[in-house]
Structure 1
Amino acid sequence: MAWLSFGFFFGAAVILISLKLVSSLIARRRLNLEASRQGCEPPYALPNKDFLGLTRLLGLLKATKEERGPQYLLDTINAEAGEDVHTLHIHIFPRAQTLMTRDPENVKAIFVTHASSFEINAHRSGIFRPLLGDGIFTSRGEAWRHSRGLLRPQFSREQLSDLTLEQRHVDTLLSSLPTGPDGWTEVVDLQPHFFRMTLEAMTEFLYGHSPSQLDANPSAPSTPVFGHHLDAGKSYINTRLALGKFHWLIHPRAFTNHCNQVHAYVDYFIQQKFQHRWWKASSPTNPDTEKPKKFILLDELAKQTSNAQVLRSETLNVLSAGRDTTASLLAWLFYFLARHPVTFSHLRSTILSTFGPNPQDITFPQLKNCTYLHHCINETLRMTAILPIMERVSLEDTTLPRGGGKDGQKPIFIPKGQSVLISTYALQMRADIWGSDPGVFRPERWENRRPGMEFVPFGGGPRKCIGQQFALTSASYTMVRLLQRFDKCENMETPVGQRIRFQHGLSIRSGTGAVVRLREAMKPNTVDGSGDGEGGKEKV
């Protein structure tokens, strides 16, 4: 009987496997016929290093740990396929055959012309949910459209053009950078300062108050503690992303603790809202009235739901992205400016001629029109690709315009369910697009250039980052204020000459920070010309 039962189950298994193989062959034949009908040809395929693609996964994880993840993918493409191959198949566990592209025409198709045929990976929600919940950066379809509609008023031009919030938090930043008798600050890593500033600003932007404004309350959450747990949680998320559908394998107790601490930070503000204690601390925008003048996301969401988990998820998605993007950009700016004193000097001269030395004279239109400042920001985003990889999955059979055939100029057939990786870092390092020196920080390359789909630091199309203008405005204002005050910036990183290091926590930040010292600018004494003993000049 035992042998009979075994034979039955063995035979059934053979039949099922055979049916699966036949079904797969039929499906493949159908796809090949459809691809041929549309004039498509397959792209270059990197040779598999092993059957499952584990070697490439382990190589990517190792490179990420060594803070060279974006370079690893770029070097892999250039070394194994060639610098003229811009779209290729690559096998990285746990995905099957993944398409990777750095072709602007394909990026345009994915983000714009064929946008309805592509969506974020369905696994992203499960990957992010323990830390950030379900919000605009993890939802798809109607749920995503609903989230975006809720958030749009928060990022209106009226909101962004009011620089009051930015001024208050930059004032706090500047007060943390005292200078000595010689006018120089101590050696300081600006990166953690920027992360604290942007976290405080985003918290006030979304909830109406920041923790520093509630210091009188002993139960108010700690910004540094929250930042630590958010960064640690994102490190786990980054590994979960690499594992795709097997993300559930990475969920240790430490990750749960980090998630709980992050949630406690946001829940504090939500609890204050529902316990009617929210405005006992005076509002920074309107201290004599019951409610603030500005649109506050938490207020608007609370009109639609009292579900604390929904409120936490929607606001936390924005808080996390807004804090990281702006702080990373500012730190990278000073990383490069400290190494390029001529560029620093040119930028400061431009800022003084545009805005003058008085912080009160800075306006939103001026920020939008300060061309050289935008050149420096764009070059920093190009060099670092703060979001180095963007993934989309095809919702239906479709095509991409280029990458097929021996010359890479034929269209490619994309079957339903195909994963496509856009390597923004590799795209922004193409010498045929950016010149022979793509690895050199040179803002002047942006003169007379109107970037297209070769430059997508915030994505593109319908899912383009809703907070892009907020991040750029915040970074621009902060740079103007800092360069109004300081006229020199020296690189103090040790040892000198280290390679650029990309620390990956979803977005890319400097692995060595922005270690500098700054000199406070001096101006002619306008009272009696006697100065302060420094050649007739006084500090700005």
Structure 2
Amino acid sequence: MDRWKPNKFVKLHQQLGNDWTYFPIIGNAISFIGNNEDLMNIFMNLSVQGFKRKHNAISLWLGNMFFVGIMDPDQAIVVLRSTLNKNYIHKYTKYLFGNGLVFAPVGIWHRRRKILAPTFAPRYVSKYVTVFETHAKIVVKKLASKVGKGNISCWDYISRYALDSICETAFGVNIDVQRQPDHPFFNAFVENLKNIAARLCQPWLHVDALYKLLPVYIRQEHTKKIIYDFVNDLICKKKALIEERDGIEAEVDNQLMIEISKNIDKAYTLEELREEILVLALAGTDTSTVGICFTILLLSQYSDVQERVYKEIQEVLSDSEKPLQMEDLFKLKYMKAVINETLRLYPPVPFIARYCKQDLKLPTGVILPEGSNVVISIWGIHHNPQHWGEDVNDFNPDRFMSGQIPNAFMPFSHGPRNCVGYQYAMLSITTTLVTLLRQYRFTPATNFTYDKNNPLRLSYDVMMKHVDGFTVQVESRG
């Protein structure tokens, strides 16, 4: 171990450690070389290492930066409730999102959350179901031409649906990316996120002076301008419309964020609104899309589960074409169990990073020194056999049918900085699946069969995604 490393971290590393070779100066950084699929495999390997250790935790060095990885829910809850400061790694997301809610320092986060929280209050979220169903029916129409035509990737259809939904529910604007394959904002947003994810886990790209010399930086600047110009224009037009109609707009089209922000403390500035819109676009689009796509993929592989879900939908909704209501969705108990089990196996945000500004004692007796970087492995907690049993890697929705949610289930994080829009995400996922499953049956893609011996190929791309594009086949139920 290098002599210049702080002794408090060296002692904790000797207590926790990992199974990888340590190299002078760079520490364990060489183990993180690879593409996004390699990175996800590395993170999963770290989590499994943690299961086998006394404290359900590991430690590692990326150069001179010390990290502790936690795979136990009780320890994770202590960290997430006590440590609200984001890890330094979020500076790279600030390039696009600034001080948006998910990434903001604690002082800024408090005010931002206070303003934004009413947008996701149950009395408003219930009104969004109609918007979700409307946009999901566009997916139904687009998939009609794919019935019986072989393999298709769900990702593009669902991600476009989700972005249309978040823009209309939160900002009252339908940007209609589902009908515009070359929509500049959508394509720029996807590309920029992909490059941010690549930079997050590669320490040699953390040096700004070096990064700015690379061709990818020029592309990032180009796509960022497209994104910012589009959102700024959206905000200005929306503000003008609200002022023209004297605030009636919020009631007319369910747009809330801009209107509500005027009523608490000081209104969002243009820059703040842009940051929050982009964070919501990220969280609302990718979180919902990942949840929907993984569920469709698993249902295609488990036909018995899919038919049980469809039977429940028929029992609750029959063959009625009446618009979906939130109370209908709440009756779909097995559907919720299927979604929860999917989110357990494939949490959209597999890792959460925090920074300790003071010493923190964990339930195991381990003390995280001030200055520690902590990574909560949501994937690890959800796959820890100590909490889920030896069938932890099996897809078994019945484990959620008791109605009691284990504390080892935290797909939307935990504590004060948990996902403010988790109810929104669950309603979006449920509404979309109901709308699609009433019309279609999803079957395994040709040459894509998954089981314990042949698991899904996963990648770390800000969210956790499927390398093979969530590929399935579509059959009509009619």
TM-score normalised per structure 2: 0.86
- Work out whether 1:521 is the aligned partner of 2:474: no
Q: Which residue does the alignment assign to 1:462? A: 416
Question: Offset at 1:290?
Answer: 9.5
- Work out whether 1:510 is the aligned partner of 2:466: yes
Q: Which residue does the alignment assign to 1:250? A: 211
Give me the whole-angstrom Cα distance separating, in 1, the residues matched to 2:421 and 2:181.
Answer: 24
Q: State the SS of the aligned residue for 2:220.
A: helix
Match of 2:44 among 41, 50, 74: 74
Q: Which residue does the alignment assign to 1:536? A: none
Give me the whole-angstrom Cα distance separating, in 1, the residues matched to 2:250 and 2:42.
Answer: 54
Structure 2 stretches lacking a partner, 5+ long:
none
What residue identity is the alignment partner of 2:21?
K
Contact persistence 2:347–2:379 (CA under 8 A): yes
- Work out whether 1:175 is the aligned partner of 2:146: no
Contact persistence 2:161–2:178 (CA under 8 A): no
Q: Which residue does the alignment assign to 1:218? A: none
Give me the whole-angstrom Cα distance separating, in 1, the residues matched to 2:328 and 2:25.
Answer: 51
C-alpha spacing 1:484/1:108, structure 2 compared with 1 (3 Å): same
Match of 1:237 among 177, 180, 196: 196
Q: State the SS of the aligned residue for 2:464.
A: strand
Match of 2:66 among 97, 101, 109: 97
Q: Which residue does the alignment assign to 2:375? A: 421
Give me the whole-angstrom Cα distance separating, in 1, the residues matched to 2:47 and 2:251.
Answer: 55
Give me the whole-angstrom Cα distance separating, in 2, the residues matched to 1:227 and 1:57.
Answer: 33
Q: Which residue does the alignment assign to 2:303? A: 341
Cα deviation, 1:486-524, whole Å, max 9, x if unaligned, reads 2x32112445557412232211122212322322223xx
- Work out whether 1:191 is the aligned partner of 2:160: no
Question: Offset at 1:131?
Answer: 1.2
Q: How many residues align?
A: 462
Q: Which residue does the alignment assign to 2:325? A: 363
Q: Which residue does the alignment assign to 1:435? A: 389
Cα RMSD after superposing both structures: 3.3
Give me the whole-angstrom Cα distance separating, in 2, the residues matched to 1:449 and 1:354.
Answer: 19
Give me the whole-angstrom Cα distance separating, in 2, the residues matched to 1:399 and 1:506.
Answer: 29
Structure 1 stretches lacking a partner, 5+ long:
1-19, 36-40, 216-220, 403-410, 523-540
Contact persistence 1:179–1:520 (CA under 8 A): no
Give me the whole-angstrom Cα distance separating, in 1, the residues matched to 2:446 and 2:225.
Answer: 35
Question: Offset at 1:202?
Answer: 0.7
Cα deviation, 1:312-352, whole Å, max 9, x if unaligned, reads 11221112110110011111111111111111111111111
Contact persistence 2:72–2:384 (CA under 8 A): no
Structure whose alpha-carbon radius of gyration is higher = 1
Q: State the SS of the aligned residue for 1:92.
A: strand
Contact persistence 2:33–2:202 (CA under 8 A): no
Contact persistence 2:157–2:178 (CA under 8 A): no
Contact persistence 2:27–2:60 (CA under 8 A): no
C-alpha spacing 1:156/1:401, structure 2 compared with 1 (3 Å): same
Q: Which residue does the alignment assign to 1:138? A: 103
Name whichever of 196-205 and 257-266 sits farther off: 257-266
Match of 2:184 among 192, 205, 225: 225
Contact persistence 1:43–1:87 (CA under 8 A): no
Q: Which residue does the alignment assign to 1:5? A: none
Q: State the SS of the aligned residue for 1:392.
A: strand
Give me the whole-angstrom Cα distance separating, in 2, the residues matched to 1:223 and 1:211.
Answer: 12
Question: Offset at 1:48?
Answer: 5.7
Cα deviation, 1:49-81, whole Å, max 9, x if unaligned, reads 23357474343341x43x2534323324546x6
Q: Which residue does the alignment assign to 1:150? A: 115
What are the equivalent positions in structure 2 for 1:441-456 lying under 5 Å apart?
Answer: 441-448=395-402, 450-456=404-410
- Work out whether 1:107 is the aligned partner of 2:67: no
What residue identity is the alignment partner of 1:150?
I
Identity %: 18
